[in-house]
Structure 1
Amino acid sequence: MTEIRPQNRRLYGRASGHKLTDRQQKLVDERLPALSWADDGPLDPKALVPGCDAYVLEVGFGGAEHLIGQADRARHTGFLGIEPFLNGVAKALAGIEDHQLENVRVKRSDARDEIGRMPDDAFDQIYLLFPDPWPKKRHAKRRFVQPDTAAEFARLLKPGGRLRVATDVRAYADHALPILMATAGLNWTGELASDWRDNPADHIVTRYQSKHLGDIDPVFFGFVKG
């Protein structure tokens, strides 16, 4: 486990959007404390969701469609989702309730403050799908994929575990792929153009992706921990 970083990292961009519905606010007030975890100390997925066959982390789950959809498909897998945007967390809580999921835990936080608290070889799969691209060059340091976070992904994955990163912004793709390819322990699985141009077979297309807001078609970078 790496050194725990200070909490309350500065969050860039909006932390919330439109006013929550009455139901969403009730879920945040009443359900979130039980489905989240403490702000400090060790953070072990097996302790949060005991008895699961595998464990998955989704960083920045947005509207939670992918997180909830994957968790609904694999109810014996434990899912941890981390998202700083309050409205996204509220949507995740609604999805958990609607689908009666017992295998999902969520935290409203910057994932960089959480992953350093997690043990080595904790996850079978990590998703980072369509993160905030911060397309301007002067904002590149705000992008989630950096050498240190890529190294954390490699540390957190079990041997043979998989990382999937997706983006529809060329600047982010050009920034992230070289970093990930240079990260010790991560081996790129792409061989054919279709490997990064086509949606993976198990992928869940979200409303965000379907809006085609980026400047390129989505690309998917797959890595396996060697």
Structure 2
Amino acid sequence: MTEDARGSRATEAFFGRRRGKTLRPRQEALVDRLLPRLALDLTAGAPPLATLFDPEVTDFRLEIGFGGGEQLLHESGRHPKTGFIGVEPFVNGMAKLLSALDENPRRNVRLHDDDATELLDWLPPASLTGIDLLYPDPWPKRRHWKRRFVSRSNLGRFARVLRPGGRFRFASDIDSYVNWTLLHCRGHPAFAWEAASAADWRTPYEGWPGTRYEAKALREGRVPAYLTFTRR
């Protein structure tokens, strides 16, 4: 456990630094004005997720570590009747998404800018239809492997909040983390791997917009993997 950079609470340290370059004035203003309107209040008990979105929203998905928010923005536009919860502790990534949401508002997006495990423990049981963990920090050094988000304890958290038939999607260009995730998920009784051939995990997800991390990986010759696991 480490002390949160803001001093608000201890975290499980699955993410690194909280800030990068100094935010521009407009970005700072959006963090101060727009983020509080979209952020979930975890200080009280979790209500039914349907109460957090418009009435037509019936399914709920979570993206952990959305980076610049490309996938979250794309998917929330494609699926207006699905409620999306995005988690990103990195302030600059959050500011980038807020800028996009300010220009193209979404009524089906809520946000959390802190530790994802805190949110997972707060969510009601069997409340999500999907969880996305896309290009997470691979923590390549052996001494840092305990900081990889995919772990037995976090898969237990996923299993608690996913509905039966719900999906956990994991994408990465780092082979060691892909293998790590396969071993952990195949060893967990709550999850089944959806793959019949290599093409199943080399083919991007339906409607996949790509991300800047993926583009960099492809430029550098790394081959992404797209894994999907179903909650039994």
Normalised to the residue count of structure 1, the TM-score between the two structures is: 0.92
1:215 deviation in Å? 7.4
Structure 2 residue 49 is matched with structure 1 residue 49: no
Structure 2 residue 189 is matched with structure 1 residue 190: no
Q: Any unmatched runs of 5+ in structure 1?
A: 1-5
Q: State the partner residue of 1:3.
A: none
Any idea what the Cα deviations from partners look like across 1:83-116, whole Å, max 9, x if unmatched?
Answer: 1100111112112222221110111111012101
1:175 deviation in Å? 1.5
Question: Match for 2:23: what amino acid?
Answer: L
Over the matched positions of the two proteins, sequence identity in percent amounts to 37
Q: State the partner residue of 1:172.
A: 177
1:10 deviation in Å? 5.4
Measure the CA separation in 2 of the matches of 1:190 and 1:103.
30
Structure 2 residue 53 is matched with structure 1 residue 60: no
Any idea what the Cα deviations from partners look like across 1:164-187, whole Å, max 9, x if unmatched?
Answer: 011111221121111111122211
Measure the CA separation in 2 of the matches of 1:49 and 1:92.
19
Q: State the partner residue of 2:230.
A: 224
Measure the CA separation in 2 of the matches of 1:53 and 1:185.
23
Measure the CA separation in 2 of the matches of 1:28 and 1:8.
22
Measure the CA separation in 2 of the matches of 1:104 and 1:165.
21
- Give the conservation status (yes or no) of the 8 Å contact 1:72–1:101: yes
Which range moves more in the overlay, 17-26 or 211-220? 211-220
* Closer, same or farther: CA 20–37 of 1 in aligned 2, 3 Å: same
Q: Map 1:54-133 onto structure 2 (within 5 A).
A: 54-133=59-138
Normalised to the residue count of structure 2, the TM-score between the two structures is: 0.89
Aligned pair count?
A: 221
* Closer, same or farther: CA 41–184 of 1 in aligned 2, 3 Å: farther
1:55 deviation in Å? 0.6
- Give the conservation status (yes or no) of the 8 Å contact 1:42–1:117: yes
Measure the CA separation in 2 of the matches of 1:10 and 1:165.
20
